[in-house]
């Protein structure tokens, strides 16, 4: 009988300890959840009160931290009902022949620091233009890739064959109307892509239609 009593006492003591542990664990989780809610509320209020310059700086820092070694450009900020809607370009390989572009959208404080991503270019391909011959070029990085991907320009390939990858720099700009002094002609709604040899300072230019990306002109600029 004494053995049974000792067993029951030990069993009851163990059950009480396990019950106490469960209660403590639940209390810790509950307190933690409350603190998170309070923290998010306070952070949200502070972020919602930021002016445009502060919001831009905060987003720039956050994206630079989240995407190390990438070029980050914040290009759109809009405040709606206390939440900043921020869009930025994240570019790996900026200025090269194959830039990888991702558009990142942040909503502060509604969704905290969680980014929404849209991959635009990857592995020297414009994703939105696959199987779409009439796609609209929206970004510089798309124009750079399409200038070679969709156009066979022997003189451009000849130019590039003599340029070291380390000396190659590429940029593109959109023009609603572009006057080419070299071709003595005006082109509406085009992208101008300049392929530069930073060593020799020579430049080869490709002019692309904004829709479809077909080359309307190509020439040595200098």
Length of the chain: 222
The two three-digit tokens of residue 184, written as one number = 């003595």
**What pLDDT score does 29 carry?**
53
Q: How far is CA 107 from CA 11, 38, 42, 76, 118, in A?
A: 54, 19, 16, 12, 15
183-188, Cβ contacts within 8 angstroms, sequence gap of 24 or more: 183/217, 183/219, 185/217, 187/216, 187/217
Phi-psi sector, 204: left (phi>0), alpha (psi -120 to 50), beta: beta
More confident residue, 26 or 67: 67
Identical fold between 52-119 and 133-220: yes
| Options 3.30.70.1350, 3.40.30.10, 2.170.190.11, 3.10.450.630; CATH of 52-119 | 3.10.450.630
| pTM exceeding the 0.85 threshold for the entire prediction | no
| Domains of the chain, residue spans | 1-49, 52-119, 133-220
Please tell me the class of the 133-220 domain. Answer: alpha beta
Structure confidence by residue, pLDDT tens digits, 157-205: 999 999 999 999 999 999 999 999 888 999 999 999 999 999 999 999 9
Structure confidence by residue, pLDDT tens digits, 89-140: 999 999 999 999 999 999 987 766 688 999 999 999 999 999 899 999 999 9
């Amino acid at each position: 009988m004494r053995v049974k009593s000792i067993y029951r006492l030990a069993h009851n003591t163990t059950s009480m300890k396990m019950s106490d542990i469960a209660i403590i664990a639940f209390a810790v989780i509950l307190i933690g959840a409350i603190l998170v809610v309070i923290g998010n509320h306070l952070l949200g209020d502070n972020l919602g009160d930021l002016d445009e310059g502060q919001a831009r700086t905060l987003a720039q820092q956050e994206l630079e931290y989240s995407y190390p070694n990438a070029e980050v450009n914040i290009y759109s900020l809009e405040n709606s009902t206390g939440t900043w809607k921020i869009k930025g370009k994240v570019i790996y390989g900026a200025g090269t022949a194959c830039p990888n572009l991702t558009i990142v959208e942040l909503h502060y404080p509604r969704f905290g620091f969680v980014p929404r991503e849209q991959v635009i270019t990857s592995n020297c391909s414009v994703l939105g233009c696959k199987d779409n011959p009439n796609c609209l070029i929206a970004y510089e990085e798309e124009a750079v890739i399409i200038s070679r991907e969709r156009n066979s320009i022997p003189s451009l390939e000849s130019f590039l064959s003599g340029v070291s990858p380390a000396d190659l720099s590429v940029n593109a700009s959109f023009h609603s109307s572009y006057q080419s002094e070299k071709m003595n002609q005006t082109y509406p709604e085009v992208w101008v892509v300049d392929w530069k040899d930073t060593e020799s300072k020579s430049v080869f230019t490709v002019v692309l239609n904004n829709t479809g990306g077909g080359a309307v002109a190509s020439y040595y600029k200098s």
